[in-house]
Amino acid sequence: MLKILIIEDDISFCKLLEKFLIKNNYAVSIAFSATEARLLTQNAVFDLILTDLRLPDADGIELLAEFKTKYPETPVILMTGYSEVSTAVKAIKNGASDYISKPFNPDEVLVVISNALAKDKTSDKPTKQTQKQPVKEKLSKEYVQGISTASKKLSEHIKLVSPTDMSVLIIGESGTGKEVIAQSIHQQSHRKQNNFIAVDCGAIPKELAASEFFGHLKGSFTGAISDKTGYFEAASGGTLFLDEIGNLSYENQIQLLRALQERKIKPVGSNKEIEVDIRIITATNEDLREAVKNGDFREDLYHRINEFSIHSPSLAEREEDLILFAEFFLEKANAQLHKEVIGFSKEVVAIFQNYNWPGNLRELQNCVKRATLLTQGDFIESAVLPVEFFTQNETRKASFSLSENEKEAIENALFKTKNNKSEAAKLLKITRKTLYNKLKLYDIH
């Protein structure tokens, strides 16, 4: 199977092209920058390279020359949204096999690629030996490493804390994937061969918490018809993840604190203590420090579980990752629903980018899965999206257009957020991309 490298910083376009080429029996790798592309070419041999002319960290013509020097036998096709004849001629002179202007139709892409590969085969150059590679490896893990600043910081913190036994508190809004972060920490730790036990603290009745956490003996209370192993014992040697820990009653907090301090538990109805070796990861969507101040959460327990804290960013904080997550969820939905939807239409991508995603990643996943089920063709179209996507966008447009002085509103938002553009965009209820456009429009520095 022939291997193609796509170098393109437009994530949605890149993903669409990737899926189209995979569907046409090419093995595809993708890079969103020249830096990523250089790393990929160091570790693999490609039959053809498709690169955008304008990249965030390099000029396409210069990158072309670099690749032709290092890999003279590999055909390179340049893509661009700017179809100047002079640029095309310059590209061909610098060794490009061909040049294609965006937007282009799928058939045109296949023809250009076929022609470039045919030229390579019929040239006098020695044929390069390439191993057959499987089509792009399926994503096997739930954790998606994004490209946004917030995602990079999150990945860095996970990498730092995973090899340790420190207790980790994950803080973030509902639906941001806190359990996925906890699983990722476990998978990168020395405990990965042992159990990862996840517990929703909000779903445990106060009266049954001790039995759930520490187990019980048969007959120890009404309804105890057999011995039960608790979460602590089940997780021994591995990781115990306590989600929404702020929902535990004060009495249950005392029981939990004692178990964490002593690393010993006593099943309900038993006089025998059991030693446990666990790592604790907890999560919350509320401000536990405020709960401590109000007397709703024990301060000593807070410090015990918070040896290291991780912020789970909302989808609004990782705008650049939106399409990466959408593509990941589409791949999952295709597998679960036995569908072969290629991607999202341009209109849907725009709608996704303008929506504020109050339910975060959980909402995005549910939306993509539903849309995949309803889609009959190759691409998800706006017709299969829920109505709230359109009503919210209309409301947002209307509320912003009512502003008497947009420039003044933007300046006030920047002042209030101390020039934090992400926070200012949230305050104005617009996307960060829209804010940057407005800054340019009004010449605000």
DSSP 346-363: HHHHHHHHH---TTHHHH
Check for a shared fold between 3-122 and 149-312. yes
Query: Whole-model pTM?
Result: 0.64
- Locus of tokens 């017709």: 383
Q: Could you confirm whether domain 403-441 is CATH 3.10.20?
A: no
Domain at 315-394, CATH class = mainly alpha
Cβ neighbours, 10 Å, residue 436: 12
How many angstroms separate the first and last alpha carbons of the chain? 51
State the fold for domain 3-122. Answer: Rossmann fold (3.40.50)
Q: List the Cα angle 312/329/3 in 5-degree steps.
A: 110
Q: How far is CA 14 from CA 158, 188, 294, 327, in A?
A: 28, 30, 50, 11
3-class DSSP state of 268:
strand
Q: Tell me the domain boundaries of the chain.
A: 3-122, 149-312, 315-394, 403-441
**CA–CA dist 9, 422 (Å, integer):** 21
Q: What pLDDT score does 99 carry?
A: 75
β-pair type (168-172, 196-200) = unpaired
Per-residue b/e over 382-403, b at no fewer than 16 CB within 10 Å? eeebeeebeebeeebeeeeeee
Q: Select from 439, 172, 417, 419 the least CA-distant residue to 317.
A: 172
Q: What pLDDT score does 175 carry?
A: 92
Tens digit of each residue's pLDDT, the chain (445 residues): 899 999 988 888 888 888 889 988 899 999 988 889 999 998 889 999 998 888 888 877 788 888 888 888 899 988 876 545 556 666 776 788 877 777 677 777 888 888 888 765 555 443 333 332 322 233 334 678 788 889 999 999 999 999 999 999 999 999 999 999 999 999 999 999 999 999 999 888 888 899 899 998 888 887 778 888 889 999 999 999 999 999 999 999 999 999 999 999 999 988 899 999 999 999 999 889 999 999 999 999 999 999 999 999 999 899 888 988 998 999 899 989 999 998 899 899 989 988 889 899 999 999 999 999 999 998 999 999 988 887 755 555 444 443 446 777 788 788 777 788 877 877 777 777 777 777 877 778 7
State the fold for domain 149-312. Answer: Rossmann fold (3.40.50)
